[in-house]
Structure 1
Amino acid sequence: MTDPVVVGVDGSPSSLDAVEVAAREAALRGTGLRLVHAFGWPSIHVPPGGPPWNPAMAGVRELVDGTLIKAEQRARQAEPHVEIIREVTVGEPLMVLEIESRTASLVVVGSRGLGAFGSLLLGSTAVHLAAHGRCPVLVVRGTPKPAGPVLLAVDGSPAGEAAVEFAFSEAALRGAGLLAVHVWNTWSERAYEGPGDPLNMVVDIERLREEEQRLLDETLSEWEKRCPGVAVERRLVRSRIRPALLEASRDAQVVVAGARGRGGFTGMLLGSVSQALLHHAHCPVTVVRGKD
């Protein structure tokens, strides 16, 4: 059996949605599912006299067991035949799930847990794992279109190669098409399309467009040969990057993006585009880190 799919469980509605998605991902991969509850999450309300580092204390064990039983029931409803392991671990959830990611094929989390403030669009666990996870991290959010494609955000960077590989694999597993979108623009996020565009005055726009098309083609060509069963649609868009990808996510099953692209500062673990997708995409988002 390959490395398991790991899902973080804290009893929140968001985490239970993540459990259902994780069960389906495990079934697609033919692997097991690990339900991981990190004891000490802010969501745990410890009874008087029960220190949070001792899950054997009266009342706390029942609370944890009840959370995992409910999660397992949700997983079995989605995929009855997936092998499930329940794991209760002492430690902060961020560190626990990061460690779990070292031996997982995929880590799945909800977009918000019980500890998230009401005004936050995305919980700290999801952001941290997307930046630090050692395997692809799937954040469950939005409403996926079951018949839609896997949406790949193409930036042509070396760090993004792992995301391309993952997107082709995911499309093959799901029996879905792959929509590869490469968005290019001027030197800023302000997009001009008319003759007054300053860029038109200093460069050959058509030549620049050809260069961007070549980058898109070269990024995909090798993987199209390796995965001939995946139907690929290439889409070159001149626009602001983040709004264009967010709009494309409306009709997708899942978005796949690298952790950081060509425009990221050195040392930045999570770029602005991947952060925008995590916060605002209309469907689940998988962030794939490149090789360190």
Structure 2
Amino acid sequence: MATTHLVGIDGSETALNALTWAAHDAVLHEATLHLISVATQPDLARNTRWLQQAQQIATDAGANTETRITRGKPATELIEASTGAERITVGNRGLADNTGTHLPLGSTAETVAMRAHCPAAVIPSTSRPDPTAPVIVGVDGSALSDPALRTAFDEASARGVGLIAVHVYSDTAVDEVWGQIEDWYELRQREEEVLAERLAGWHEQYPDVSVQRVVERDRPVRYLANHAATAQLIVVGSRGRGGMTGMLLGSTSRALLHIAPCPVLVVRLQHESPAGQ
């Protein structure tokens, strides 16, 4: 059965960049791409033009498309539309976010990433990912990262590229988990075992994906962001082991949305209530 991917269209260059990524992604996953434009004023002619232009771009890329115009607040309508979808894609800034603040991430993109009912891809306005570059996935060492791992393996397999599984442990994590440990070599060995345990079994399911394991002592956001320039996609969970119950998006995921130069795909935990309900 065909799956459904969504992409928000608002006429901005950022949205068209996100559309190009989403169309390619839909083709890779044999999904139908739903183009959604949210009208914030009575005149729908503008939104119709946007969708016509976007549909032509997506069709030229080989995607099967459907279009829809809704009324309301962009973030609210996109979140509602994400129910039952496999993925939603948005640009990191839309027309409504061009307020002169020069912030790297708009309010609509952040809200959708936080509250969507499905995995959410946020595409930077200047992103031109190398299709031969690897996929990077952040692994925090807990079962919370398993949904992101599954998605990352699926993405690497669909794209025919390698996967870099990154487990970054910080001083804070060391204090919380290990207490007073003086043998840093022993600690690193243990962290390598943690990553190996989380990766166990995935190779059998995705034998075509070559995996590079990276274990580093650093801040997760800093390490992942520094290596994002050499990746075509970063996959992260919505919350890590440091996340507090009730948080919609963890600090690492949120920070990456602001600073990563490549697309970031946020994969929500299956038991989370994305709309805070």
* Structure-2 separation of matches of 1:121 and 1:30: 31
Unaligned runs of 5+ in 2: 272-277
The 5 Å alignment of 1:31-180 reads: 31-40=31-40, 52=41, 54=42, 60-77=43-60, 79-80=61-62, 82-116=63-97, 117-118=99-100, 119-141=102-124, 142-180=127-165
Gaps of 5+ in 1: 41-51, 55-59, 190-198
1:145, CA displacement in angstroms?
A: 2.4
What corresponds to 1:17 in structure 2? 17
Measured in 2, the distance between the counterparts of 1:120 and 1:128 equals 15
Post-superposition shift, 1:207? Answer: 2.1
- Say if 2:237 and 2:266, in contact at 8 Å, map to a contact too: yes
Aligned match of 1:239: 218
CA contact (8 A) 2:143 2:198 kept: no
**Which SS does the other structure have where 2:96 is aligned?**
coil
| Rounded Cα–Cα distance in structure 1 between residues aligned with 2:208 and 2:173 | 37
Q: Is the 8 A contact 1:168 1:178 kept in 2?
A: yes
- Structure 2 partner of 1:204: 183
Q: Counterpart of 1:196?
A: none
**Structure 2 counterpart SS, 1:103:** coil
- Would you say the 8 A contact 2:38–2:69 is kept in 1? yes
SS of aligned partner of 1:115: helix
- The TM-score, its normalising length taken from structure 2, stands at 0.90
Name the CA distance, whole Å, in 2 between partners of 1:201 and 1:17: 48
Q: CA deviation at 1:159?
A: 2.3
Measured in 2, the distance between the counterparts of 1:70 and 1:156 equals 44
RMSD: 1.8
Residue aligned with 1:156, SS: coil
- State the match for 1:194 in structure 2: none
* Larger Rg computed on CA atoms: 1
How many angstroms apart in 1 are the aligned matches of 2:8 and 2:226? 28
Question: How many Å apart are 1:276 and its aligned residue?
Answer: 1.5
TM-score by length of 1: 0.86
**Secondary structure of 1:102's partner?**
coil
Q: 2:257 aligns with which of 272, 278, 283?
A: 278
Q: After TM superposition, give the deviation of residue 202 of structure 1 in Å.
A: 4.3
- The answer to whether the Cα contact below 8 Å between 1:260 and 1:274 also exists between their aligned partners in 2 is yes
> 2:236 pairs with 244, 249, 257, which one?
257
Aligned to 2:194: 215
How far apart, in 2, do the equivalents of 1:185 and 1:229 lie?
32
> Over residues 59-114 of structure 1, what are the superposed CA-to-partner deviations in whole Å (9 max), with x where a residue is unaligned?
x232121111111122123x13x211110112221121112211211100001000
- Structure 1 stretches of at least 4 aligned residues deviating more than 4 Å after TM superposition: 199-202
Q: CA deviation at 1:188?
A: 7.1
